[in-house]
Amino acid sequence: MKKILVLVCVMMLAATAGQAQLRFGVKAGANVNSLSASVDDMLDEVKGATSYQFGVVFQAKALGFAVQPEVLYSVKSGLVDLDDDFGLAYLGTIDEVKFSSQNIEVPINLQFGLDLGLARAYLQAGPYVSFVAATMIDGEADFNENLKNSFKTFDFGAGVGAGLEVLNFQVAVKYDWGLGKLGEATVPTGIGSLPTDNPFNKLSNKTLSVSLAYLF
């Protein structure tokens, strides 16, 4: 699938290189994360939370199509209620904890749009990769070292969305499916009598974003 997406991008750019309009811009918006979960005896409940994103965008547009890669600082978060038998006593709580990750995210959006005079409406889809810069539990980056080392530092997925460009402004709504898990399968040993199974291995990011960009 990845090879097909890359091939499509290359073909589109090669076919329109002589006519492409190149632009760059800045972008900011809100993330509504739903933390998709495989709920079992380790997780009682999982709830999403709202956070934010900002970054830069690049756009090559021609003949109704556009390729828009972005580099974003994106924060994703959620509330995780662990089963009492598992607990997180060494974090100072055994109930609901707030998880958040700070990510450098690189989506590549393939757009097809319809020009409406001063406006352009479009649909978009494409893959993304995400590098986790920091993980926080209950707002703290300094927590149990074993659990901290069991969070993954790389994520990937795909998204679909729609948007509207009016003059230099771009408003977009997008839904991303994370295809990786937040944590490794197990937590390293050395945390007392707690099980080595990692509850964060049951979770993945599902994110609805609403954003505003300005293109120069």
**Tens digits of residue pLDDT in 49-108:** 999 999 999 999 998 899 999 999 999 999 888 765 554 544 554 567 888 999 999 999
> Which residues touch 146 (CB under 8 Å, ≥6 apart)?
187, 188, 189, 190, 191
Q: How many residues are given for the chain?
A: 216
Domains and CATH numbers, the chain: 2-215 (2.40.160.20)
- Tell me the C-alpha distance between 122 and 64, whole Å: 9
> Which residues touch 212 (CB under 8 Å, ≥6 apart)?
27, 28, 29, 169, 170, 171
pTM score, whole prediction? 0.84
